[in-house]
Structure 1
Amino acid sequence: MNAINPATGERVETYEIETADDVDNALKAANEAYEEWRIRPLRERERLLTEVAEELRENDRTYAEQITREMGKPISGALAEIEKCAWVCEHYAEHASAYLTPEGHPSPPGVDARTVYEPFGPLLAVMPWNYPFWQVFRFAVPALTAGNVVLLKHASSVPGCAMAIEDAFRQAGLPEGTFRTLLIDADLVDGILGDDRVRGVTLTGSGPAGRAVAATAGEQLKPSVLELGGSDPFVVLEDADVEAAAEVGTQARMQNAGQSCIAAKRFVVHTDVHDEFVNRFVAEVESLTVGDPMDAETDVGPLASEAFLTELHEQVERSLEAGAHAVTGGEPLDREGAYYPPTILTDVPEGCPVDAEETFGPVAAVYEVADEYEAIEKANDTRFGLGASIWTADRKRGRRLAHDLEAGCVSVNQLVKSDPRVPFGGIKESGYGRELAADGITEFVNRKTVWVE
């Protein structure tokens, strides 16, 4: 399993792929660890989370550089990702007890009826490369705090990150086997999920991968949570603060080189402010620094691989052939590495790739609409339903229109982002289930009713 630096094309390191026997031993160890971990007092599990947060912060540069070397995220973004992982640890260390407090129910005199929350057991996490620490931590931290143990099948392009995450939990004092990375090929996932020792699965990734995991989980009657792709709309109405919308919209589309499920991808703009927004948007995008991801001044690094660059450019080329217009960008940069320039397309025809498909890179599609009704119609014209952002000076109007947007998360006058304090997840082909907040910690627990007379 080779880790390749997308900024240079050079091999970072090679890792040995684990065998089916290795997996069997890992499952055995996970079950043994679970029997001890599940009975640890919740307060002790919470305390260990604070140790994880300290470990991350004390070694943030080391972990961030691992991210940057393997998938090309600018070092500033990688450091921010590590800090966010520390935050989610601290959030559950502080709030897990409240989230898992038994809930009482109406009952006859002399009867105590309540719901208690108990862990499931070993859980499988199948995770992507684009936020190689955060995607893992936002699932693993609440799962571990609830008393489960975690087996991680990470993306094959970030094996060093996968091993570093396991080491971070170990360094913080979590017992051996509580969190285990599996460096395996994808063809072993079905067998792991079919094993009786695994009690549930979560996947963040592509639609085809999600369908495959969901099908196996369904056959095994095991719970699953899926966070899949997105083609999030960014709606700018006629009364919006256009300057702020263009500035935040640039961040929403271009951070992490546009490689984010919840990135704003389709910009739906009222005709009264369309030209002003496009001009400001172009100016903001062209001010970004594209370069070496290890440089603190870099805003946009390379895509995670040459293959992703090729796929993205094919989507852009086919959209231009269909009639779209590139107002900036649109051609791979003539330099070493998988660099694609921040790109904005206007006059985007219905059904072309940047309209109908998810674009996983720094490419924005802009649409002009006549009124809020057309804006909502265009925003919802997608098979995805992860996030949506709407911009208006009238907060009451924004709240009303938020109910009309078909998405799991809607932000008014802000970009869509995951936050430990609120549930996160999508609808339609963006998946199901929720991560973070109370919902995230109770997805993989037994909500047991206990009736005592």
Structure 2
Amino acid sequence: MTTTNPAPAEFASLSPRTGAELARYPVHDGEQVRAAVRDAGEAAAWWDGLGFAGRRTRLGAWKKVLVAQLDRVARVVADETGKPFDDARLEVVLAIDHLDWASSHAEKVLKRRSVSPGMLMGNQAASVGYRPLGVVGVIGPWNYPIFTPMGSIVYALAAGNTVVFKPSELTPGVGHELARTLAEAVPEVGRYPLLTVLTGFGPTGAELCRAPGIGKIAFTGSAATGRRVMSACAENLVPVLMECGGKDPLIVDGDADLDAAADAAVWGGMSNAGQTCVGVERVYVVESVAGRFLEKVRETASRLQVGGAAHEGDLGPMTMPAQTDVVRRHVVDALERGGRAVVGGAESVPAEGGGISPVVLTDVPEDSVAVTEETFGPLVVINRVPDADEAVRRANATGYGLGATVFSAKRGAELAQQLRCGMVSINGVISFAGIPALPFGGVGESGFGRIHGAEGLREFARTQSIARQRFALPIAVTSFRRTARGMSTLLGLVRTRHGR
């Protein structure tokens, strides 16, 4: 009798626009995950040994391949997410810019540096360095499937680590495009896996968190899923970087440029079908300009078209159909509790998946779920406030703390510093995400840790302090040869130096 092994489990990547199957991918199991981490660990020693210059050269080559194949990569992003092609291209452009910054600044940020040993330890040479963690696991999202995970991947690689990447099950093809382009740029990848892609669902990600040899997990997703990731990582004390959701506010002061503020509110709230963790979900506008601001938002938002199978439109369909139910619940609850529709309404949300037309609501109670919970769809709530200080108070009245936006001619910096969040844009929207030198991350329910910038490079390294004795002190202090006279001399020095 002949027996055959069962075919490995697979799943299909589907187009949000048409429902058509794009490709099929394997569901990697625990054994495959552990093997991938083990191989990545062996490659990490070679990658670290190249030094900053060797890594910079190879990451620079990857950048050139991504530039040359930008449209090809962006097409996979657009096909899997449903977003307009130009939005996908913008996402790839931003990822390329971060790749360039991380590779060119890693040495400056992470090289060993001398620090002062202080008066009491003046015989020591003291230094601080940053060593790679080894293998970094990255669990990526589906809404920005290249830009967001690359904020961890390229900074981890630049810091000397190898990466095992588990993309969302909704966008696995994007992960394979990243691995393919890196392999084209770096010939040694065939022998040394710098970026390994694992596909599957939650259990595959959980196996990655628990795999022996993982130095850190960088996660992007909901706070609820983030808690499960942290629980799995806790089993082996694996450190985590958590980039979770947001309920980001936009404040419009009385002296704001209303045209620019309205444009920012609509773009920040509706682009990518509202599926942006740092997108605008709440707007607090000062009463004196609220009427004019609302009219400008209405004019802009009402012109937007949702794309489908036949045309791209200004925004695409929901990438994850189940998210439609969340948006519908938020809209209905807000309207039932006295909110008023400025653009769209409950009829804008289809019964089953697909595209959601822009919805703008006003006069929504602050305890409505449309104000308190992350919507992650093309819904913006605009509420009036007596002044900008009240706007700040309401903006901070949430467990989330990711990004924020302030439009004000005179008080922008002052108001920004009062906001409890990780990033703020003044007189612009989401601009902080496009600046590679700025760290990106949140507080509270929005997570902890930072990607991007110098902080992002150090996030994927372990700090190592070294003290080297240059000569022996005439007074033995850290020794059993210490004498009463020596201790008296030491105390005299301390009283002279610090007791004044």
Same fold (TM over 0.5): yes
Query: Structure 1 residue 294: deviation in Å?
Result: 8.6
- What is the aligned counterpart of 2:142 among 106, 110, 129? 129
Structure 2: 5+ residue runs without aligned partners? 1-10, 470-500
2:164 is aligned with 1:148: no
2:180 is aligned with 1:164: no
Q: How big is each residue's C-alpha offset from its partner over 1:362-387, in whole Å with a ceiling of 9 and x where there is no partner? A: 11000100012211111111110001
Q: Judge which range, 191-200 or 275-284, deviates more.
A: 191-200
Does the residue aligned with 1:264 lie in a helix, a strand or coil? coil
Give the equivalent residue in structure 2 for 1:400: 414
- What is the aligned counterpart of 1:236 among 252, 263, 267? 252
Give the equivalent residue in structure 2 for 1:70: 80
How many residue pairs end up in the alignment? 450
Q: 1:375 to 1:390 in 2, by over 3 A?
A: same
Does the Cα contact within 8 Å between 1:115 and 1:448 map onto a contact in 2? Answer: yes
Does the Cα contact within 8 Å between 1:52 and 1:86 map onto a contact in 2? Answer: no
Does the Cα contact within 8 Å between 1:122 and 1:148 map onto a contact in 2? Answer: yes
Distance in structure 1 (CA, Å) of the matches to 2:272 and 2:291: 27
Q: Judge which range, 140-149 or 285-294, deviates more.
A: 285-294
Q: Judge which range, 261-270 or 172-181, deviates more.
A: 172-181
Does the residue aligned with 1:156 lie in a helix, a strand or coil? coil
Distance in structure 1 (CA, Å) of the matches to 2:205 and 2:143: 20
Amino acid of the structure 2 residue aligned with 1:281: V
Query: Structure 1 residue 239: deviation in Å?
Result: 0.9
Query: Structure 1 residue 332: deviation in Å?
Result: 3.5
Within 5 Å, which residues of 2 pair with 1:168-179? 168-173=181-186, 175=189, 176-179=192-195
Query: Structure 1 residue 193: deviation in Å?
Result: 2.0
Q: Once superposed, what is the RMSD of the aligned Cα atoms?
A: 1.8
Within 5 Å, which residues of 2 pair with 1:380-399? 380-394=396-410, 397-399=411-413
Distance in structure 2 (CA, Å) of the matches to 1:105 and 1:371: 47
Query: Structure 1 residue 48: deviation in Å?
Result: 1.2
Q: Judge which range, 331-340 or 341-350, deviates more.
A: 331-340
Q: 1:312 to 1:151 in 2, by over 3 A?
A: same
Distance in structure 2 (CA, Å) of the matches to 1:294 and 1:110: 74
Give the equivalent residue in structure 1 for 2:395: 379
Does the residue aligned with 2:196 lie in a helix, a strand or coil? strand
Give the equivalent residue in structure 2 for 1:208: 224
Does the Cα contact within 8 Å between 1:125 and 1:201 map onto a contact in 2? Answer: yes
Query: Structure 1 residue 192: deviation in Å?
Result: 2.8
Query: Structure 1 residue 79: deviation in Å?
Result: 0.6
Within 5 Å, which residues of 2 pair with 1:43-54? 43-54=53-64
Identity among equivalent positions (%) equals 31
Give the equivalent residue in structure 1 for 2:477: none
- What is the aligned counterpart of 1:414 among 418, 424, 428? 428
2:125 is aligned with 1:112: yes
Structure 1: 5+ residue runs without aligned partners? none
Distance in structure 2 (CA, Å) of the matches to 1:22 and 1:93: 30
Does the Cα contact within 8 Å between 1:102 and 1:115 map onto a contact in 2? Answer: yes
Give the equivalent residue in structure 2 for 1:348: 364
- What is the aligned counterpart of 2:287 among 263, 271, 287? 271
Give the equivalent residue in structure 1 for 2:331: 316
Distance in structure 2 (CA, Å) of the matches to 1:368 and 1:41: 55
Query: Structure 1 residue 110: deviation in Å?
Result: 5.1
2:20 is aligned with 1:10: yes
Query: Structure 1 residue 400: deviation in Å?
Result: 1.6
With the length of structure 2 as denominator, give the TM-score of the two structures: 0.87
Does the Cα contact within 8 Å between 2:34 and 2:212 map onto a contact in 1? Answer: no
Considering only CA atoms, is the larger Rg found in Structure 1 or Structure 2? 2
Give the equivalent residue in structure 1 for 2:322: 307
Does the residue aligned with 1:268 lie in a helix, a strand or coil? strand
Query: Structure 1 residue 88: deviation in Å?
Result: 1.0
Query: Structure 1 residue 51: deviation in Å?
Result: 1.2
Distance in structure 1 (CA, Å) of the matches to 2:212 and 2:267: 44
Does the Cα contact within 8 Å between 1:75 and 1:293 map onto a contact in 2? Answer: no
Q: 1:186 to 1:115 in 2, by over 3 A?
A: same
Q: How big is each residue's C-alpha offset from its partner over 1:143-195, in whole Å with a ceiling of 9 and x where there is no partner? A: 00111111111111111111111112111106231110111331233333223
Distance in structure 1 (CA, Å) of the matches to 2:157 and 2:12: 29
Amino acid of the structure 1 residue aligned with 2:427: N
With the length of structure 1 as denominator, give the TM-score of the two structures: 0.95
Q: 1:188 to 1:8 in 2, by over 3 A?
A: closer
Q: 1:117 to 1:160 in 2, by over 3 A?
A: same
Distance in structure 2 (CA, Å) of the matches to 1:21 and 1:244: 53
